[in-house]
Structure 1
């Protein structure tokens, strides 16, 4: 498994990635993530997940963003913004690989915590993130649970 940058050669394949139909309300499509990466280039870190030559997923990290600048301007966070693993590739460790890769990138930039948010509903990714060691902070972001992992 490896990560690759999104390029003119592979972006169309990235746009074609889709999660399972019952997960579509849990994560934005890749096209929205790439648009957000375009308008927030100083904070977004989009990458494609490959297994050999096969594209199996997309991730996007957020790096050093002001979390709540009105309350605490010093509170800057990094973490996993998006994770899309292709419907037919799920259950093979790609999500785990993606989270670990984001954590390694955050560590390489001097970070000591990784954050993630998830939709708190049956069939959502909460169990996945808890199993990886994230713990709820007690905060909500857009109705989603905020989790943190000490690196």
Structure 2
């Protein structure tokens, strides 16, 4: 898949329906909240949440929500990825990697030196994906989820 075919767009009244209809594979549903839940979380955290749709041409193929909260008392919630959903039929096409790189670029643009992500440490979960992208488990666990970090 050519990364140049992908772009990020804000969630708007025109695309929110498509965003909410997007779903991951059935075997991944225990690892990530539906996009509609993420958008509700973004709505109540407008100063922190950074929700974006990933498009290929004119079709939304993924959703990512970064979080940027430099004053958060919990260090691993200051800059990172809150959610990543890739449409079931778009798995392994570069959409997830592209989305993660865009959140990391936004973190750099905002002056952060480190980004984090949390994942459920179960077989079939996203841990190996994040580790391939350079995230390293910190040894911290939060509500049963591994905290991974990457230097920006």
After TM superposition, the score normalised by the length of structure 2 is: 0.93
Q: Deviations over 1:26-49 (max 9, x none)?
A: 000011100000100110000000
The equivalences for 1:43-62 within 5 A come to 43-62=48-67
State the alpha-carbon separation in 2 of the partners of residues 75 and 84 from structure 1.
20
Q: CA deviation at 1:21?
A: 0.4
1:91 matched to which residue of 2?
92
2:26 matched to which residue of 1?
21
**More deviation, 59-68/17-26:** 59-68
Q: Tell me: CA distance 1:122–1:38, structure 2 relative to 1, closer, same or farther (3 Å).
A: same
Q: CA deviation at 1:116?
A: 0.2
After TM superposition, the score normalised by the length of structure 1 is: 0.93
1:124 matched to which residue of 2?
125
The runs of 5 or more residues in structure 1 that have no matched partner are: 69-73
1:56 partner SS: strand
**More deviation, 56-65/117-126:** 56-65
Q: CA deviation at 1:75?
A: 7.3
State the alpha-carbon separation in 2 of the partners of residues 118 and 60 from structure 1.
14
Instruction: Assess if the C-alpha contact under 8 Å between 2:76 and 2:115 holds in 1.
Output: no
State the alpha-carbon separation in 2 of the partners of residues 145 and 137 from structure 1.
8
RMSD (Å) for aligned C-alpha atoms: 1.3
Q: CA deviation at 1:54?
A: 1.4
2:41 partner SS: helix
Instruction: Assess if the C-alpha contact under 8 Å between 2:76 and 2:147 holds in 1.
Output: no
Which consecutive segments of 4 or more residues in structure 1 shift more than 6 A?
none
Q: Deviations over 1:91-142 (max 9, x none)?
A: 0000000010000000000001110001100000111011111000111111
Select the structure that is richer in strand: 1
The runs of 5 or more residues in structure 2 that have no matched partner are: 1-5
State the alpha-carbon separation in 1 of the partners of residues 18 and 100 from structure 2.
21
